Every structure is written in C-alpha cells, then in structure tokens.
Amino acid sequence: MTLMTRDNYLSTLKELPHSVFIQGERVESIADHPISRPPAMAMAETYHQAQQEEMKSLFTAQSHITGETINRFTHIQHSTQDLIKKILMLREMGRKTACCFQRCAGLDCMNTVFAITHETDQEFGTQYHPRFIDFLNYIQTNDLVTAACMTDTKGDRGLPPSRQEDKDQYLHMVEQANGGMVVRGAKLHITGAVNSHELIVVPTRALQEEDKDYAVAFAVPAETRGVTFIYGRQPSDTRRLEEGQWDVGNLYYGGCEAMVVFDDVFVPEERIFMKGEYAMAGRLVELFAAHHRASYGGCKVGVGDVLIGATSAIAEAQGTERASHVKDKLAEMIHLNETLHSGALASALKAFPLPAALMR
C-alpha cells in the first residue's frame, strides 16, 4: 500500500470533477483558485508530514483491516496510545499550518460510524458494519480524505425535523429506490468539504420515531450527481485576489467550510450505514462529540502555539517584552493552551474500548 504524497493529493484534487461555487461562479480547480488554494495546501500538509521520517510514528499507523501502513488520518483508534498519538499529531499539524487543516472531523466521523454501525447491527440485526468496513478499506487503501457532513440547516429549532414547514431543513430520505435510497437536504459549515474525496453524512441530533426518514447515514463520492458545494466566506478572502496578496493573514495556508446541497442524490445500498434506526441517532452525535472535542485539544492548541510565538515576537519587535502586563498575558496564553492540551490527553488516558474495538 502506497501513501499519497502532497503532490499526489493535489493532483487528485485538480482532477476531481465536483461542483464547487465560489462567489457565485463555478470553479474548475479549487487547488488553483486563489481563494481556495491555501486550504487545499493545508490539507496537503497532512500527506506531506506522513512522508517525513521524523514524523512517521505520529502520522502513520497500522491498519487493523489489512495490517498495512496507512495515514493516521484514516485510522480507527483501538487503544489509548492511538488516541494520544492522534492528539499529538493534530498539535503538530496546527503548528505547521497555523490554521484549520480540515481533516479532523472526517477522522472522528469515521471512528464514530465504525462504532455505531456495530452497535446498530447488534441491536437491530442489520448488516451496516461490514459495509462500513468495506468503505473504510477503500479509504485506507487509496489514502483518501473524508469530510464529516453533520450540521443541518435546522429551520425552526423549536420543532423536530418531521414537523418543519420545509421538510428539507434536515437532510432526509425521500424515497427508497431499487438498490438504494434517494436523499434531499443540505449540510452547513462542512469543514474541508471541497477538499475531500468522499462525504460521510450523519444525523445532527437525537430523533424520534416520526423522524425516522431523517435517521440516515451514508457515504458518497464528492463528485456524485446532485451534490453541490457552496464555498463559505473566509477572512480576507478577496484580498487573495489582489495583486501581490498583501495583508491576507496566513499567506500559505487557510481553513475552509462549505454548504453541501444534496438535490435528490441516489445512495447505493452498499454505502448506507443507517436507514431509519432513529434510536441510534442521538448516540451517534454524542460519540462524535466526544471524539471531536478531544481533537480540539490537539489542533487548536497547535494553532495556539503559533499565536503565542507571534505575540512574543511582536512584543520583542516593539521593545515591550519585559513589560509586566505583556509577560502576564503571555503566561496566561501558555497556561490556557496547555490546560486544553492536558484535558485532551486526560480524556485519552481515561478512555475505554467500545464493543466494535474488540472485534478485530
């Protein structure tokens, strides 16, 4: 199994025929567009670091499916050591890019669906977990990026999905088709969606029986017919269109999110991981939150390291590095950053295996 390089990844992105709109215009290659290129480069760094000898212990892992070496961003965590290495890897990525590198949510979503499909099969006698294993094997073997599509538009927050005036405020199944299902709706603020090869779609909240059409989880390629990406505005994004690109903030890297519209999208049966098992939706959301909040103790802390260093450098440039109030603020920043990191590491050390992790 060959790990993709940074250039390999960028080539796949340039060739990806997905439908992406930036400021109302369709973009042929998001890896080349001035606004979307920095986020693509940040994502590409996850591949580059896995190629560096000194980083391989953090950025690569052994697949529990094939036994081959894979990128840790496609790995299913089976131990506290796996969790700790994930957090340390994310901190390194934050330090390297000083921004959201957009791959954490997809990793955490894969780990969540891995566990939920097993629990759903045990509870309802379904066969979702083997399907997900096949999908995961495909992702790992081809070293692909997955995006986690969770947040719905939600409409009236006081009403459940089935009672919304506009039924498309939550993504849902509109019909069962031969060999699959058809879904409609939209997911908002999806981190790194335009830079991903595959989309994993999951519910955004706990559901009741009347909401069972909204209890769907599945995966589709980014270029699937009916899927449209509307790129979200980023700080100083239009400054990147100016000659010289002055004062754009992070010159080389950046984060991005998008609204992902599903306009009567067909999902084949083998890519469906939940279809109507509404009782598992809340459990899925809670488990994803546990994974993802711990991740923040890595990636956001890495970005914090850069901000602390930049603040210290500015103080030195201004000749205020010895001022007591400046030293106090820097000490407070360091304290908060390390507290966040230690909380994430503590959550890893106090972790326990879920039933799916015991099935090797």
Q: Which pLDDT tens digit goes with each residue over 217-238?
A: 999 999 999 999 999 999 889 9
pLDDT cut 70: percent of the chain above it: 99
> What mean pLDDT is predicted for residues 79-90?
97
| Whole-number pLDDT of residue 356 | 86
Hey, what are 55's tokens?
């980083």
Distance CA 74, CA 155 (A): 33
Read off the DSSP letter of residue 152: B
Fold designation for 6-290:
Butyryl-CoA Dehydrogenase, subunit A; domain 2 (2.40.110)
Is residue 61 within 8 Å of 82, Cβ to Cβ?
yes
Report the 10 Å Cβ neighbour count for 126.
19
Hey, what are 344's tokens?
């994430």
Hey, what are 223's tokens?
């270029």
CA distances from 358 to 80, 169, 317, 355 (A): 14, 37, 55, 5
Read off the DSSP letter of residue 358: G
> What mean pLDDT is predicted for residues 300-321?
97
Q: What is the mean pLDDT of the chain?
A: 96
CA 322 remoteness from chain centre: 41
Report the 10 Å Cβ neighbour count for 175.
12
Collapsing DSSP to helix, strand or coil, 224 comes out as coil
Surface-to-core class of residue 333, CB atoms within 10 Å of its CB (0-12 exposed, 13-18 middle, 19+ buried) = middle
CA atoms lying within 13 Å on the CB side of residue 338: 6
Confidence of residue 133 (pLDDT cuts 50, 70, 90): very high
Which residue's structure tokens are 């998008």?
258
Confidence of residue 1 (pLDDT cuts 50, 70, 90): low
Read off the DSSP letter of residue 346: H
Hey, what are 230's tokens?
């509307």
CA distances from 324 to 156, 306, 308, 315, 333 (A): 50, 21, 16, 12, 14
> What mean pLDDT is predicted for residues 145-171?
97
Distance CA 191, CA 93 (A): 16
Collapsing DSSP to helix, strand or coil, 198 comes out as strand
Confidence of residue 208 (pLDDT cuts 50, 70, 90): very high
* Each residue's pLDDT tens digit, 252-279: 999 999 999 999 999 999 999 999 999 9
Helix (H) or strand (E) holding 41: helix 37-50
Distance CA 41, CA 7 (A): 10
| Whole-number pLDDT of residue 198 | 98
Q: Please choose, from the candidates 55, 57, 37, the residue with its C-alpha nearest in 3D space to the C-alpha of residue 92.
A: 55
| Whole-number pLDDT of residue 80 | 96
| pTM of the model as a whole | 0.96
First to last CA, the chain: 20
Which residue's structure tokens are 């001022």?
323
Hey, what are 125's tokens?
């006698």
